[in-house]
Chains A and B, each alone.
Chain A
Amino acid sequence: MHAYTEKIREAARRLLAEKKVDGVIGFRRGTLPLMNEPVFVRHADQVDQLVWDGNCGVNLANYLTKRKDRVAVVAKGCDSRNIVVHIQENQIARDQLYILGIPCKGMLNRRAILKALDGREPLQVEETEADVTVSGDGFEQVFPRKDVLQDNCKICIHRNPVIYDELLGDPVEEQKDVDRYEDVRRIEAMTVEERWTYFEELIAPCIRCYACRNACPQCYCPTCFVDESRPQWVGKSLDPTDTRTFHFLRAYHMAGRCTDCGACERACPMDIKVRQFTKKLEKDVKELFGYEVGVMLEERPPLDTYRPDDPQDFIR
């Protein structure tokens, strides 16, 4: 995994020296264990800041919308799929980008590790292919890597970038036997009242900070529906109906656009599993329209197109 660090630096140095790009978007070492910070490197002398490890979960496609310059961006599988969606939606042009593809084996779930440590503070983290060793004052705990991945990484089926100019490592094996929709089906099996209650409890801690919306690479509307006031579609207080409306419409806006990168859940300060909304849409889009988001640059997004024989059993 850390071998990527050198390769990223080498590529960044080369691209900046050849003036192929105005800057490189990557990660630098964070100030906390299990955290890295996105960084924009413009000069060769800053290249050594760039790092790569299991704490690079932030989706760098977030930093690409409305750009005028030409940039290189380090992209995991999910980032690359979001880049595809950005290109499809004209948020950035392909020739503005130099994509440094990173075959990824999943990013670490900091919150899950902190939870497992139960109040003990991590000071040092060491990663290998198989394990993550976290140590602190008077303790050392080894976690099998697969147990402490982000929820979306555990079920990821596009670990290799789908689009890139340069791949910085050998492609990794894709996960074949994952059941992406186990949790969705579990909810589907409930009665309609149980489902209502399930989602009511799911979003109960919401403080309406909109971090999930703002963290999403796909959320870039000039005016979000929650900020519209004529008419006001949704109230801004902690009223449960308003909170529900917000989460519902936020998710719906992601229909056929969400790559399940997990940025929303990473950002939520209240640990709400907001992917429960978007995953259902992902499943439906796949089943109804046979579409997988951000995989084929040439395809139109599913709600931007149609087939005359689309399913319509639900229409009288």
Chain B
Amino acid sequence: MSQWEPKIVAFLCNWCSYGAADLAGVSRLQYPVNIRVIRVPCSGRINPKFILAAFRHGADGVWVSGCHPGDCHYIEGNYYARRKFALLKSLLEHTGIDPRRLHFSWISSAEASKFAQVAREVVETVRDAGPARHFIKTLPQWDSVWGESTAEIQAEVV
């Protein structure tokens, strides 16, 4: 597995964390290349479905970042988001997703060095957790054994 590099989907809010990523870039700060950024208008825009979709597509980790509380461009979007995230993270862990795979942060558009720092931490934590094994969607297999559902055949393969 020496070739394996973690794939991390980062949902960054347009007004703060995405700006921080931008600033980190123009400031030539180094951070790992394992992050794929998806820009969202606000951390409040993150539907839990997005995070699950990332895992289902095989992401090894997901990182969500928005404005600091009180600094939301939409005044309170991140406050609502914070409650959703708390429950989502807890339920994912409760049902067997490694806590090292899901990360949240508040990073303002001026905090380029925090962005680079958190990016490094996120990547290293996910690297420790290893390649994702759960919640990955694959195409249904041909039902080769009659009477046994596809699900069971896959369950045996796993």
Partners in one complex: yes
Q: Which residues of A contact B (CB under 8 A)?
A: 184, 187-188, 192-200, 204, 225, 231, 233, 235, 237-245, 248-249, 251-252, 255-256, 277, 280-281, 284-285, 288-289, 302-303, 306, 308, 310-312, 314-316
Please determine whether A233 and B87 come into contact, CB atoms closer than 8 angstroms.
no
Other A-B contacts than A196-B96, A200-B155, A315-B105, 4 sampled, CB-CB below 8 A, are A233-B53, A240-B154, A248-B92, A315-B85
Please determine whether A316 and B104 come into contact, CB atoms closer than 8 angstroms.
yes
Q: What residues of A have a CB within 8 angstroms of the CB of B135 in the complex?
A: 241, 244-245
Can you give 17 A-B contacts (C-beta < 8 A)? A187-B94, A195-B95, A196-B96, A196-B97, A237-B150, A240-B154, A245-B52, A251-B91, A277-B91, A280-B91, A284-B91, A288-B87, A303-B87, A306-B76, A308-B70, A312-B86, A314-B85
Within 8 A of A (CB), among B69-98: 69-70, 76, 79-80, 82-98
Please determine whether A199 and B95 come into contact, CB atoms closer than 8 angstroms.
yes
Query: Which residue of B69, B92, B149 is within 8 Å of A238 (Cβ)?
Result: B149
Q: How many Å from the CB of A219 to the closest CB on chain B? A: 16
Chain B contact residues: helix, strand, loop or mixed:
helix
A235–B138 CA distance with the chains assembled, in angstroms: 10
A281–B90 CA distance with the chains assembled, in angstroms: 8
Q: A196-B134, A240-B155, A252-B88 are in contact. Are A310 and B83 (CB under 8 A)?
A: yes
Q: What residues of A have a CB within 8 angstroms of the CB of B53 in the complex?
A: 231, 233
B140 part of interface (Cβ distance < 8 Å) = yes
Query: Which residue of B80, B103, B106 is within 8 Å of A303 (Cβ)?
Result: B80
A315–B82 CA distance with the chains assembled, in angstroms: 9
Please determine whether B150 and A193 come into contact, CB atoms closer than 8 angstroms.
no
A233–B136 CA distance with the chains assembled, in angstroms: 13
A193–B154 CA distance with the chains assembled, in angstroms: 18
User: Residue among B87, B88, B149 with the most chain A CB within 10 A?
Assistant: B87
Please determine whether A280 and B94 come into contact, CB atoms closer than 8 angstroms.
yes
A226–B136 CA distance with the chains assembled, in angstroms: 17
Q: How many Å from the CB of B97 to the closest CB on chain A? A: 7
A237–B106 CA distance with the chains assembled, in angstroms: 38
Q: What residues of B have a CB within 8 angstroms of the CB of A284 in the complex?
A: 86-87, 90-91
A303–B98 CA distance with the chains assembled, in angstroms: 24
Binary contact track B119-158/A, C-beta < 8 Å → 1, others 0: 0010000000000001111101000000001110011001
